[in-house]
């Protein structure tokens, strides 16, 4: 069971009622949460920022990057073929 809580002045304070089956003094395991997911407006703003930044990259750089990815994939496939003894 997961209970949301906050840390205030060195104390863990639950944000919702604790289960009635939990006993006073019972040992609990507290884990730091993963990074919070972005809200939809935050995600939309982030996407706009990324698109604006990407638009500043010259087309030649995009092409050069895509060519490098293709070359890397071809080299990787060839390496696996050799390792597996395939033609």
- Mean pLDDT (10-residue bins), the chain, 87 residues: 89 92 92 81 92 94 95 95 91
Predicted local distance difference test score (pLDDT) of residue 21: 93
67-to-55, 59, 60, 71, 72 alpha-carbon distances in Å: 19, 12, 10, 6, 9
Q: Could you give the CA distance from residue 81 to residue 84 in angstroms, rounded to a whole number? A: 5
Predicted local distance difference test score (pLDDT) of residue 74: 96
**Residue labelled with tokens 């006993």:** 23
| Non-local CB neighbours of 13 within 8 Å, separated by 6+ positions | 5, 6, 7
45 contacts 30 by C-beta, under 8 angstroms: no
Predicted local distance difference test score (pLDDT) of residue 67: 96
Predicted local distance difference test score (pLDDT) of residue 1: 81
pTM above 0.95, yes or no: no
């Amino acid at each position: 069971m997961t209970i949301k809580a906050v840390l205030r002045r060195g104390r863990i304070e639950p944000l919702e009622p604790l289960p009635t089956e939990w006993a006073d003094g019972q040992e609990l395991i507290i884990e730091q949460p993963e990074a919070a997911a972005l809200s939809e407006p935050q995600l939309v703003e982030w996407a706009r920022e990324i698109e604006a930044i990407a638009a500043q990259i010259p087309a030649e750089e995009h092409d050069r990057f895509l060519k490098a990815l293709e070359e890397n994939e071809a080299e990787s496939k060839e390496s696996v073929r050799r390792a597996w003894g395939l033609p």
